[in-house]
Amino acid sequence: MDVEIRIQDTPLQPWSEMPPVHAGRPSVGGVVSFVGLMRDSNQGDAVAGMTLEHYPGMTEKALAQIVDEAGQRWQLEAVRVIHRVGELAPQDPIVLVAVASAHRGEAFQACEFIMDYLKTRAPFWKRERTAAGDARWVDARHSDDAAAAAWENGPES
């Protein structure tokens, strides 16, 4: 399994900036990719912008462990995870997870698994600025904890 993990403070352009994750891998039968975008509202308030902070060093380790665990659960050919930090505006891509596998089922499951674990285990924090001018740290969601926990005894290939 080939793994590429990147944290960047420059705009993420998941559809144009790099070769597709299956490039040069004729054994790949399917690629599933997820792109997370910044929304323009949260908890009923219009949001004008966001700053993403992380724990340099630990972030890369945590993501590598998550991808490694996905590679143990499913037969994967390649995984790419790219996550933004710094200043973001609504509609900016926050994260790309792309998984290439011989068969679609494994790619679909692994992509969702990586996102669910990233949401609860990778040390990133969002601070948003509302259109009204307030700044606030975004609270973690219980639904994210539940989604990650479901994999503990959940579906495997």
If one asks whether residue 52 binds other proteins (CB under 8 A), the answer comes out as: yes
DSSP state of 147: H
Find the shortest distance in angstroms from Cβ 24 to other proteins.
28
User: Of the candidates 2, 9, 53, 156, which one interacts with other proteins according to CB under 8 A?
Assistant: 53
Pairing of strands 78-84, 2-8: parallel
Number of residues near other proteins (by CB under 8 A): 27
User: Of the candidates 46, 58, 131, 150, which one interacts with other proteins according to CB under 8 A?
Assistant: 58
What's the chain's length in residues?
157
Find the shortest distance in angstroms from Cβ 59 to other proteins.
8
Find the shortest distance in angstroms from Cβ 39 to other proteins.
12
Q: Which residues of 141-157 are buried (b: 16+ CB within 10 A; e: fewer)?
A: eeeeeebbeebeeeeee
